Structure 1
Amino acid sequence: MKSLLVATALALASTTAVADGNASGHSHGQTSIGQPGSAAEADRSVTIRMVETADGMGFEPAALDVKQGETIRFEVENTGHMDHEIVLGTVEGNRAHMQKMAEMGPMRHHDPNALQLAPGKAGELVWTFSEPGSVQFACLIMGHMEAGMHGTITVN
Protein backbone atom coordinates (compact mmCIF):
# COMPACT_ATOMS: atom_id res chain seq x y z
CA MET A 1 0.00 0.00 0.00
CA LYS A 2 2.81 2.37 0.93
CA SER A 3 4.57 1.75 -2.40
CA LEU A 4 1.30 2.46 -4.25
CA LEU A 5 1.03 5.84 -2.52
CA VAL A 6 4.65 6.67 -3.36
CA ALA A 7 4.14 5.64 -7.00
CA THR A 8 0.98 7.75 -7.23
CA ALA A 9 2.74 10.76 -5.69
CA LEU A 10 5.67 10.42 -8.13
CA ALA A 11 3.31 10.12 -11.09
CA LEU A 12 1.44 13.26 -10.05
CA ALA A 13 4.68 15.17 -9.47
CA SER A 14 6.04 14.25 -12.89
CA THR A 15 2.77 15.24 -14.57
CA THR A 16 2.93 18.62 -12.82
CA ALA A 17 6.56 19.10 -13.84
CA VAL A 18 5.77 18.31 -17.48
CA ALA A 19 2.75 20.64 -17.45
CA ASP A 20 4.80 23.45 -15.90
CA GLY A 21 7.70 22.92 -18.28
CA ASN A 22 5.46 23.12 -21.34
CA ALA A 23 3.07 25.75 -20.06
CA SER A 24 4.80 28.76 -21.51
CA GLY A 25 5.79 27.57 -24.94
CA HIS A 26 8.86 29.83 -24.80
CA SER A 27 12.38 28.71 -25.51
CA HIS A 28 15.53 30.07 -23.94
CA GLY A 29 16.96 31.05 -27.35
CA GLN A 30 15.97 33.61 -29.92
CA THR A 31 12.27 34.17 -30.58
CA SER A 32 10.36 36.53 -32.86
CA ILE A 33 10.52 39.15 -30.09
CA GLY A 34 14.24 38.74 -29.38
CA GLN A 35 16.28 36.80 -26.86
CA PRO A 36 17.53 36.98 -23.27
CA GLY A 37 20.30 39.51 -22.78
CA SER A 38 23.16 40.01 -20.36
CA ALA A 39 22.94 42.74 -17.71
CA ALA A 40 26.65 43.44 -18.22
CA GLU A 41 25.99 44.19 -21.91
CA ALA A 42 22.80 46.25 -21.45
CA ASP A 43 22.63 49.42 -23.53
CA ARG A 44 20.41 51.07 -20.93
CA SER A 45 18.15 50.45 -17.94
CA VAL A 46 14.43 51.17 -17.86
CA THR A 47 12.40 51.21 -14.64
CA ILE A 48 8.90 49.75 -14.90
CA ARG A 49 6.47 50.00 -11.98
CA MET A 50 3.59 47.59 -11.47
CA VAL A 51 0.77 49.74 -10.08
CA GLU A 52 -2.73 49.36 -8.70
CA THR A 53 -5.12 52.30 -8.82
CA ALA A 54 -8.80 52.94 -8.16
CA ASP A 55 -9.31 52.53 -11.92
CA GLY A 56 -7.51 49.19 -12.28
CA MET A 57 -3.95 47.96 -12.69
CA GLY A 58 -1.14 48.88 -15.00
CA PHE A 59 2.49 49.44 -15.78
CA GLU A 60 4.27 52.79 -15.64
CA PRO A 61 5.33 53.54 -18.29
CA ALA A 62 2.89 51.64 -20.50
CA ALA A 63 4.74 52.38 -23.76
CA LEU A 64 8.41 52.25 -24.67
CA ASP A 65 10.51 52.75 -27.79
CA VAL A 66 13.69 50.74 -28.30
CA LYS A 67 16.11 50.31 -31.17
CA GLN A 68 16.52 47.04 -33.04
CA GLY A 69 19.47 45.19 -31.48
CA GLU A 70 19.25 47.14 -28.22
CA THR A 71 19.61 45.25 -24.94
CA ILE A 72 17.41 46.64 -22.17
CA ARG A 73 17.76 45.93 -18.47
CA PHE A 74 14.23 46.25 -17.09
CA GLU A 75 14.27 47.16 -13.40
CA VAL A 76 10.78 46.12 -12.35
CA GLU A 77 9.13 47.23 -9.09
CA ASN A 78 5.84 45.86 -7.74
CA THR A 79 4.36 48.85 -5.89
CA GLY A 80 0.99 47.13 -5.45
CA HIS A 81 -0.59 44.90 -2.81
CA MET A 82 -0.92 41.78 -5.00
CA ASP A 83 1.45 39.49 -6.86
CA HIS A 84 2.09 40.69 -10.40
CA GLU A 85 4.19 39.56 -13.34
CA ILE A 86 5.62 40.97 -16.51
CA VAL A 87 5.74 38.72 -19.56
CA LEU A 88 7.27 39.84 -22.86
CA GLY A 89 5.60 38.37 -25.94
CA THR A 90 3.41 38.96 -28.93
CA VAL A 91 -0.20 39.96 -28.32
CA GLU A 92 -1.35 36.61 -29.72
CA GLY A 93 1.24 34.64 -27.76
CA ASN A 94 0.40 36.35 -24.47
CA ARG A 95 -3.33 35.83 -25.04
CA ALA A 96 -2.79 32.10 -25.75
CA HIS A 97 -0.51 31.80 -22.72
CA MET A 98 -3.12 33.49 -20.53
CA GLN A 99 -5.80 31.04 -21.72
CA LYS A 100 -3.49 28.11 -20.99
CA MET A 101 -2.84 29.49 -17.49
CA ALA A 102 -6.60 29.78 -16.89
CA GLU A 103 -7.00 26.10 -17.81
CA MET A 104 -4.03 24.87 -15.78
CA GLY A 105 -4.32 27.14 -12.76
CA PRO A 106 -1.76 29.46 -11.19
CA MET A 107 1.91 28.70 -11.75
CA ARG A 108 5.21 30.52 -11.53
CA HIS A 109 7.04 31.39 -14.72
CA HIS A 110 10.60 30.18 -15.15
CA ASP A 111 11.19 31.73 -18.55
CA PRO A 112 13.75 34.44 -19.33
CA ASN A 113 11.01 36.65 -20.83
CA ALA A 114 8.97 36.68 -17.60
CA LEU A 115 9.30 37.92 -14.04
CA GLN A 116 6.84 37.44 -11.18
CA LEU A 117 7.04 39.67 -8.11
CA ALA A 118 5.37 39.69 -4.70
CA PRO A 119 4.06 43.02 -3.35
CA GLY A 120 6.85 45.45 -2.51
CA LYS A 121 9.51 43.40 -4.30
CA ALA A 122 11.75 44.30 -7.22
CA GLY A 123 13.63 42.33 -9.84
CA GLU A 124 15.17 42.59 -13.25
CA LEU A 125 14.63 41.17 -16.69
CA VAL A 126 17.22 41.67 -19.45
CA TRP A 127 16.16 41.38 -23.07
CA THR A 128 17.71 42.01 -26.49
CA PHE A 129 15.21 43.17 -29.11
CA SER A 130 16.56 41.71 -32.35
CA GLU A 131 13.58 42.20 -34.66
CA PRO A 132 11.63 45.36 -35.55
CA GLY A 133 7.96 45.45 -34.64
CA SER A 134 5.73 45.47 -31.60
CA VAL A 135 6.26 43.55 -28.35
CA GLN A 136 3.62 43.38 -25.65
CA PHE A 137 4.42 43.27 -21.96
CA ALA A 138 1.58 42.08 -19.75
CA CYS A 139 0.60 40.58 -16.43
CA LEU A 140 -1.04 37.26 -17.27
CA ILE A 141 -2.37 36.57 -13.77
CA MET A 142 -6.10 36.00 -14.14
CA GLY A 143 -7.97 39.29 -14.43
CA HIS A 144 -4.91 41.55 -14.34
CA MET A 145 -4.47 42.11 -18.09
CA GLU A 146 -8.20 42.79 -18.39
CA ALA A 147 -7.81 45.38 -15.60
CA GLY A 148 -5.33 47.27 -17.79
CA MET A 149 -2.03 45.60 -16.94
CA HIS A 150 -0.36 45.59 -20.36
CA GLY A 151 1.85 47.81 -22.44
CA THR A 152 3.68 48.04 -25.75
CA ILE A 153 7.33 48.16 -26.73
CA THR A 154 7.92 49.49 -30.24
CA VAL A 155 11.15 48.22 -31.78
CA ASN A 156 12.50 50.45 -34.59
Structure 2
Amino acid sequence: MKNLLSILTAITFATTPVWVFAHGDGAHAADKAAPAKKEQKPWGIAGNTSLVKRTVTLSMGDNMRFSPDKLTFRQGETVRFVIKNQGNLLHELVIGTKPELDAHAAMMVKFPGMEHDEPYMAHVPASKSGELVWTFNRAGEFDFACLIAGHYQAGMVGKISVTASSR
Protein backbone atom coordinates (compact mmCIF):
# COMPACT_ATOMS: atom_id res chain seq x y z
CA MET A 1 0.00 0.00 0.00
CA LYS A 2 2.86 2.38 0.83
CA ASN A 3 4.42 1.75 -2.60
CA LEU A 4 1.09 2.35 -4.31
CA LEU A 5 0.71 5.67 -2.50
CA SER A 6 4.26 6.66 -3.51
CA ILE A 7 3.53 5.77 -7.14
CA LEU A 8 0.25 7.69 -7.16
CA THR A 9 1.94 10.72 -5.59
CA ALA A 10 4.71 10.61 -8.19
CA ILE A 11 2.16 10.37 -11.03
CA THR A 12 0.21 13.32 -9.60
CA PHE A 13 3.33 15.48 -9.41
CA ALA A 14 4.46 14.45 -12.89
CA THR A 15 1.11 15.20 -14.53
CA THR A 16 0.15 18.37 -12.70
CA PRO A 17 1.25 21.75 -14.12
CA VAL A 18 4.01 23.44 -12.14
CA TRP A 19 1.86 26.48 -11.29
CA VAL A 20 -0.54 24.23 -9.37
CA PHE A 21 1.95 23.97 -6.52
CA ALA A 22 2.50 27.68 -6.39
CA HIS A 23 0.61 29.61 -3.73
CA GLY A 24 0.36 30.47 -0.04
CA ASP A 25 1.50 33.02 2.51
CA GLY A 26 5.19 32.28 1.99
CA ALA A 27 7.82 34.53 0.47
CA HIS A 28 6.03 35.02 -2.85
CA ALA A 29 8.18 37.86 -3.95
CA ALA A 30 11.39 36.76 -2.29
CA ASP A 31 13.30 37.04 -5.55
CA LYS A 32 11.84 40.21 -7.07
CA ALA A 33 15.35 41.19 -8.15
CA ALA A 34 15.05 38.59 -10.91
CA PRO A 35 13.52 40.03 -14.07
CA ALA A 36 9.94 39.05 -14.85
CA LYS A 37 9.72 36.39 -17.50
CA LYS A 38 8.36 37.71 -20.78
CA GLU A 39 5.69 35.23 -21.78
CA GLN A 40 2.93 36.38 -24.11
CA LYS A 41 -0.49 35.76 -22.61
CA PRO A 42 -3.88 36.39 -24.23
CA TRP A 43 -4.21 39.46 -21.96
CA GLY A 44 -0.69 40.87 -22.62
CA ILE A 45 2.90 40.53 -21.52
CA ALA A 46 5.09 41.60 -18.60
CA GLY A 47 5.88 45.28 -19.00
CA ASN A 48 9.07 47.29 -18.75
CA THR A 49 9.02 49.96 -16.04
CA SER A 50 10.74 52.38 -18.43
CA LEU A 51 7.65 52.25 -20.70
CA VAL A 52 5.05 53.00 -18.00
CA LYS A 53 2.87 55.93 -19.02
CA ARG A 54 0.12 55.41 -16.47
CA THR A 55 -0.20 54.25 -12.87
CA VAL A 56 -3.43 52.75 -11.57
CA THR A 57 -4.00 52.35 -7.84
CA LEU A 58 -6.22 49.46 -6.80
CA SER A 59 -7.45 48.93 -3.25
CA MET A 60 -8.57 45.57 -1.90
CA GLY A 61 -9.84 44.49 1.45
CA ASP A 62 -11.48 41.89 3.61
CA ASN A 63 -14.89 42.83 2.17
CA MET A 64 -13.63 40.72 -0.81
CA ARG A 65 -13.80 43.60 -3.27
CA PHE A 66 -11.44 45.62 -5.45
CA SER A 67 -11.80 49.35 -5.90
CA PRO A 68 -12.06 50.21 -8.69
CA ASP A 69 -13.36 46.94 -10.10
CA LYS A 70 -13.59 48.07 -13.76
CA LEU A 71 -10.56 49.28 -15.71
CA THR A 72 -10.10 50.43 -19.31
CA PHE A 73 -6.81 50.58 -21.20
CA ARG A 74 -5.66 51.13 -24.77
CA GLN A 75 -3.95 48.34 -26.67
CA GLY A 76 -0.20 48.78 -26.31
CA GLU A 77 -0.46 50.63 -22.98
CA THR A 78 2.06 49.71 -20.27
CA VAL A 79 0.57 50.20 -16.82
CA ARG A 80 1.99 50.18 -13.32
CA PHE A 81 -0.52 48.77 -10.85
CA VAL A 82 -0.09 49.89 -7.26
CA ILE A 83 -2.12 47.45 -5.20
CA LYS A 84 -3.05 48.44 -1.64
CA ASN A 85 -4.28 45.76 0.73
CA GLN A 86 -6.41 47.58 3.27
CA GLY A 87 -7.47 44.37 5.00
CA ASN A 88 -6.17 42.06 7.69
CA LEU A 89 -5.78 39.07 5.33
CA LEU A 90 -3.37 38.27 2.52
CA HIS A 91 -4.90 39.22 -0.84
CA GLU A 92 -3.64 39.14 -4.41
CA LEU A 93 -4.24 40.59 -7.84
CA VAL A 94 -4.13 38.10 -10.72
CA ILE A 95 -4.86 39.24 -14.28
CA GLY A 96 -6.19 36.74 -16.81
CA THR A 97 -9.09 35.43 -18.83
CA LYS A 98 -12.20 34.22 -17.04
CA PRO A 99 -11.60 30.55 -17.99
CA GLU A 100 -7.99 30.70 -16.75
CA LEU A 101 -8.98 32.42 -13.52
CA ASP A 102 -11.82 29.90 -12.99
CA ALA A 103 -9.40 26.97 -13.43
CA HIS A 104 -6.74 28.54 -11.21
CA ALA A 105 -9.31 29.37 -8.51
CA ALA A 106 -10.51 25.76 -8.51
CA MET A 107 -6.92 24.58 -8.01
CA MET A 108 -6.49 27.06 -5.16
CA VAL A 109 -9.45 25.47 -3.37
CA LYS A 110 -7.90 22.01 -3.78
CA PHE A 111 -4.36 23.14 -2.87
CA PRO A 112 -4.75 26.23 -0.62
CA GLY A 113 -1.07 26.23 0.42
CA MET A 114 0.41 26.40 -3.07
CA GLU A 115 2.84 29.17 -3.96
CA HIS A 116 3.41 30.96 -7.25
CA ASP A 117 4.86 34.12 -8.64
CA GLU A 118 4.11 35.26 -12.16
CA PRO A 119 4.49 38.75 -13.65
CA TYR A 120 0.69 39.10 -14.01
CA MET A 121 0.07 38.62 -10.28
CA ALA A 122 0.90 40.43 -7.07
CA HIS A 123 0.52 38.98 -3.58
CA VAL A 124 0.03 41.68 -0.97
CA PRO A 125 0.20 41.01 2.78
CA ALA A 126 -2.27 42.68 5.15
CA SER A 127 -1.92 46.46 5.38
CA LYS A 128 0.85 46.49 2.74
CA SER A 129 1.20 47.58 -0.89
CA GLY A 130 2.52 45.80 -3.92
CA GLU A 131 2.86 46.51 -7.59
CA LEU A 132 3.15 44.97 -10.99
CA VAL A 133 3.84 46.34 -14.47
CA TRP A 134 1.89 44.93 -17.41
CA THR A 135 1.64 45.72 -21.12
CA PHE A 136 -1.81 45.23 -22.61
CA ASN A 137 -0.71 44.43 -26.15
CA ARG A 138 -3.91 42.58 -27.08
CA ALA A 139 -7.37 44.10 -27.32
CA GLY A 140 -10.24 42.35 -25.58
CA GLU A 141 -12.18 41.80 -22.38
CA PHE A 142 -10.16 40.36 -19.51
CA ASP A 143 -10.54 39.85 -15.79
CA PHE A 144 -8.63 40.22 -12.56
CA ALA A 145 -9.23 38.52 -9.24
CA CYS A 146 -7.93 37.42 -5.89
CA LEU A 147 -7.56 33.65 -6.20
CA ILE A 148 -6.84 32.86 -2.56
CA ALA A 149 -9.24 30.05 -1.62
CA GLY A 150 -12.66 31.49 -0.90
CA HIS A 151 -11.89 35.05 -2.02
CA TYR A 152 -12.72 34.50 -5.71
CA GLN A 153 -15.83 32.58 -4.74
CA ALA A 154 -16.88 35.53 -2.52
CA GLY A 155 -16.78 37.86 -5.54
CA MET A 156 -13.29 39.36 -5.32
CA VAL A 157 -13.12 40.02 -9.07
CA GLY A 158 -12.89 42.84 -11.58
CA LYS A 159 -13.07 43.55 -15.32
CA ILE A 160 -10.49 44.95 -17.73
CA SER A 161 -11.41 46.29 -21.15
CA VAL A 162 -8.58 46.86 -23.63
CA THR A 163 -9.63 48.88 -26.68
CA ALA A 164 -7.92 48.27 -30.01
CA SER A 165 -5.37 50.83 -31.04
CA SER A 166 -6.20 52.83 -34.15
CA ARG A 167 -3.21 52.49 -36.42
Same fold (TM over 0.5): yes
1:64 and 1:36 map into 2 onto residues whose CA distance is 18
Q: TM-score, normalised by structure 1?
A: 0.80
- Whole-Å Cα distance in 2 between the matches of residues 107 and 126 of structure 1? 23
Structure with a larger share of its residues in helix: 1
Shift of 1:105: 2.7
Query: What do residues 60-86 of structure 1 show as CA deviations (whole Å, max 9, x unaligned)?
Result: 000010000100100001001100011
Change in 2 beyond 3 A, CA 1:123/1:20: farther
Task: State the partner residue of 1:23.
Answer: 20
Rounded Cα–Cα distance in structure 2 between residues aligned with 1:100 and 1:128: 26
1:57 to 1:67, Cα distance in 2 relative to 1, 3 A: same
RMSD: 2.5
Alignment of 1:1-156 (within 5 A): 21-23=18-20, 28-52=38-62, 56-156=63-163
Unaligned runs of 5+ in 1: 1-7
Counterparts of 2:115 and 2:124 in 1: how far apart (Å)? 10
Cα distance, 1:24–1:125 mapped onto 2, change above 3 Å: farther
Q: Provide the rounded CA distance (Å) in 1 between the counterparts of 2:112 and 2:154.
A: 19
Q: What is the distance in 1 between the residues matched to 2:113 and 2:21?
A: 12
- State the shift of 1:89 in Å: 0.4
Deviation at 1:33?
0.6
Moved more, 142-151 or 71-80: 142-151
Amino acid corresponding to residue 19 of structure 2 in structure 1: N
How far apart are residue 148 of structure 1 and its match?
A: 1.9
Q: Percent identity?
A: 38
* TM-score (ref. length: structure 2): 0.75
